[in-house]
Chains A and B, each alone.
Chain A
Amino acid sequence: MNAARSVAIAVFKESVRDRIFYNLVLFAVLLVGASILMGQLTAGQDVKIIKDLGLTATSVFGLFISIFVGINLVSKEVERRSVYPLFAKPIRRSEFIIGKYAGLLLTLMVNVVVMTVALYTVLFFLSRGVSPNVQRAWDAPPIDPALLKAIGLIYVDLALVTAVAVLFSTYSSPMLSAVFTFGLYVVGQFNEDLRRLDQIVGGPAAGIVGKACYYLLPDFARFDIKLAVVHGIPVSAGYMLWTTAYAAAYVAALLLGACVIFSRRDFK
C-alpha cells in the first residue's frame, strides 16, 4: 500500500496545483454575501437559510470536484500515456486505482473541512448579539453540532460519487464518464420512486425493472439530511452508521470493479 499512498499524495498535490481549492474562495464569497443580504430578514430565518445554503454549496461544490476530477483521474493518465513509465515501476494497477481514489478523497476532505469552518464562522457572526432567549425559540441552535452530521453524510455521498466516477474512468472517455456518473447520481436521487415504479407506471414488468434498479443502484437521496438538520429534527446515530456502511459497501464494490477492469485493460 506504500505505492497507493505515493499515488494518493501525488493526486492531492496535483489538485493543489490545478487550483481546485479556488472553489473555496467562491464558497466564502457566497456565504458572506448571502449573510449580508439575509440581514434584512427576521432573526432566525437568516441562520436557517445560511445553514441550508452552506450545506447545499458544500454538497454541490464537492459534487463538481468529485465528478470532474474523478472522471479524469484514470482516463487522463491512460490518454496521455503517463501510465506507461508508471506501470514499469513496482506498483499494481489496483494500488494505482486505490491511490487515485484516496488522493481525491483527501482533496475532498480538505475542501469540506475548510467549508465547514467557514460555515460555522459565518453562523457565529450572524448569531452574535442575538440573546440566548431568542435563540432558544429557534428550531436549532446557530452553532449546531448536528450540522456535522449533515456534513459527514455529504462527505460520504461525495466518496460514493467519486467511486462511481473512478469506475467509469477506468474504461470510458471523460465525457462519457461524466454523463454516466451524473446520470447515475440523478437516478440515485429518485431511487425510492424506482421501488414503486409498478404503482407509478403500472404493469408487473415495470415493477421488476424498477425493483432491480432500486437494489442495484445506490440510493443517493439517503445521504441528504440537510433539511432535517436545519430544522432541528434529530438524526439518529444508527441512521448515520447504517448509511455510512451502506455507502462503504457500494464504494468497495465499485472500486473492486474498477480494479478488475483496469487490471485487465490493454494500453494500446
Chain B
Amino acid sequence: MTPAIRTRELTKDFPVGFWRPRPYRALDRLSIEVAPGDVFGFLGPNGAGKTTTLKLLMQLVFPTSGDAEILGRPVGDVGIRRRIGYLPENPYFYDHLTAEELLGYYARLFRMAPVERRQRVTAVLDRLGIGAERRLQLRKFSKGMLQRVGLAQALLNEPEVIVLDEPMSGLDPLGRRDVRALILELRDQGRTVFFSSHILSDAEALCSQVAILAKGRLAAAGRLSDLQEFAVHGWELVVSGVPPHVLDRVRSRVRSVTAITGDRYAIDLPADARPEQWLAELAAAGATLVALNPIRETLEDLFVRRVSEMGDGGRPATATRVPRRGPGPGSAA
C-alpha cells in the first residue's frame, strides 16, 4: 500500500550569519512513513525541526538532500495539493476578508464550481463552529477563531491527507476538545492526519503512531503502545489508617512512602512486588485501601528521556526504530 506520507533521508540546512553564512542543520536525514488512515503525531520540543519538516512537505522550503512524497507523488507536484490540506502554525490570513470570502478565494484555486464552492464553504465553516461569523472580517476574529478558520481552509477540499502544525495552539480547553473530536472524525472517515505538537496528552489521546524529533533528528518512532512500554514499572499503593510502627517497618522494604494528607500515605512499590500480599499485610494491621495504581511510563516521560538520550553528538543511544506490534502499516522507517 502506498504510504500517505513518506520521507527519505530528508535533510534541511539553513544558512546562518550575514557575511559568512554557515549551514545550520534544522533537519537531519529524517525517514518516516505514515500509513493511510493513520493519525500520526509528530512530537518534539521547540526547535526540534517539526515545522521545518511540515514546510518541506508543503514545499514552503526545499530540501538540502533527501526527498518526500505524499500519496506516492513527489511533494513538488502541484497536482497533489488537490488531495491535501495544511494548517500552518499560528496561521495568518488576509484580515480584510471575511471568513466566507477567504474560503471562497481558496475554493477557486481548487476550481470548484460556484454552487459547490458555496456549499463547501458553508459546510466547513459550520463544522468548525464559526458559521455565524462567516461575514465578519478576519481582523475581528480572536486567535482561537482564526485557528478554526485555519482548520476550515485545510478541510475545504475534503483532503485525503491533512497536515496540521500545532493544531491545538491558541485554543481554549473547549476548542481543544473540539479539535480532538474533529481529528478522530477525520480518522473515522479514513483520512490521514499528520500533526505536530508539543502537547503530549493530545498525542496520547489521538495518535496511532508517533515520531519524536529532537535536534533535527528522529529520536523514536512507532506505535504509541510500543513506545510507551506499557509494562508496569511499579505500583502506587494509597492507604489510610496505617499504624506508625507498621509504617516504619514498611518504609525499609519499599521505594518510598509519601504522606499525602492526614493519615493517608502513598507507598511506591517496586515492579516485582506482589501488591495483593502488601494489601493483605496492611489490611491485617488495620489499614484501609484507598487506591492501587500501576506505574507506567507516560509519553511525557518517554519524550524527556529520548530527548535527553540524544546528547549533543551523533545518533540517539536507543534505536530509532521501534518494532511494530501487529501487521499494521506505517511504522517508522
B-binding residues in A (CB < 8 A):
2-3, 6, 10, 14, 17-18, 80-92, 264, 266-268
Contact = CB atoms under 8 A, between A and B. Distances in A.
Contacts of B109: 2-3, 6, 86, 89-91
26 contacts: A6-B105, A6-B108, A6-B109, A10-B105, A14-B94, A14-B96, A18-B96, A80-B92, A81-B88, A81-B90, A82-B93, A83-B60, A84-B60, A85-B106, A85-B150, A86-B106, A87-B58, A88-B85, A88-B154, A88-B163, A90-B81, A91-B81, A266-B14, A266-B61, A266-B62, A268-B14
Contacts of B154: 85, 88
A90 B110 contact: yes
B96 A267 contact: no
A214 B101 CA distance: 46
Interface in B52-94: 55, 58-62, 78-79, 81-82, 84-88, 90-94
Interface of B: 14, 55, 58-62, 78-79, 81-82, 84-88, 90-94, 96, 105-106, 108-111, 150, 153-154, 163
A264 B14 CA distance: 14
Contacts of A91: 78, 81, 109
Interface residues of A, dominant DSSP: loop
Contact of B106 (A2, A83, A84, A89): A89
A96 to B, nearest CB: 10
Contacts of A18: 96
A85 B94 contact: no
Given A88-B84, A89-B109, A90-B81, A81 B94 contact: no
Nearest to B137: A17
List the 10 closest A-B pairs by CB distance, nearest first. A88-B86, A84-B88, A6-B108, A266-B61, A89-B109, A267-B60, A90-B81, A17-B96, A80-B92, A88-B58
Contacts of A82: 92-94
A84 B93 CA distance: 9
A87 B93 contact: no
Contacts of B91: 81, 84-85
A267 B55 CA distance: 8
Given A18-B96, A81-B92, A84-B55, 12 more contacts: A6-B105, A6-B109, A81-B88, A82-B92, A82-B93, A84-B86, A85-B86, A85-B93, A87-B60, A89-B109, A264-B62, A267-B60
Contacts of A264: 62
B82 to A, nearest CB: 5
Q: Which has the most chain B C-beta neighbours within 10 Å: A2, A80, A90, A267?
A: A90
Given A81-B88, A266-B60, A268-B14, A90 B78 contact: yes
Contact of A267 (B61, B79, B85, B105): B61
Nearest to B93: A82
Given A2-B108, A2-B111, A10-B105, A88 B81 contact: yes
B136 to A, nearest CB: 15
A91 B110 CA distance: 9
A261 B166 CA distance: 30
Contacts of B78: 90-92
A264 B59 CA distance: 10
Contacts of A86: 106, 109
A88 B84 CA distance: 8
A2 B111 CA distance: 8
Q: Which has the most chain B C-beta neighbours within 10 Å: A2, A82, A84?
A: A84
Nearest to B86: A88
A85 B91 CA distance: 8
A209 B110 CA distance: 49
Contacts of B60: 83-84, 87, 266-267
Contacts of B108: 2, 6
Contacts of A85: 86-88, 91, 93, 106, 150, 153-154
A151 B110 CA distance: 38
A267 B56 CA distance: 10
A7 B309 CA distance: 48
Contact of A90 (B82, B86, B153): B82
Contacts of A88: 58, 81, 84-86, 88, 154, 163
A90 B87 CA distance: 15
A11 to B, nearest CB: 11
B148 to A, nearest CB: 13
Contact of A89 (B14, B62, B110): B110
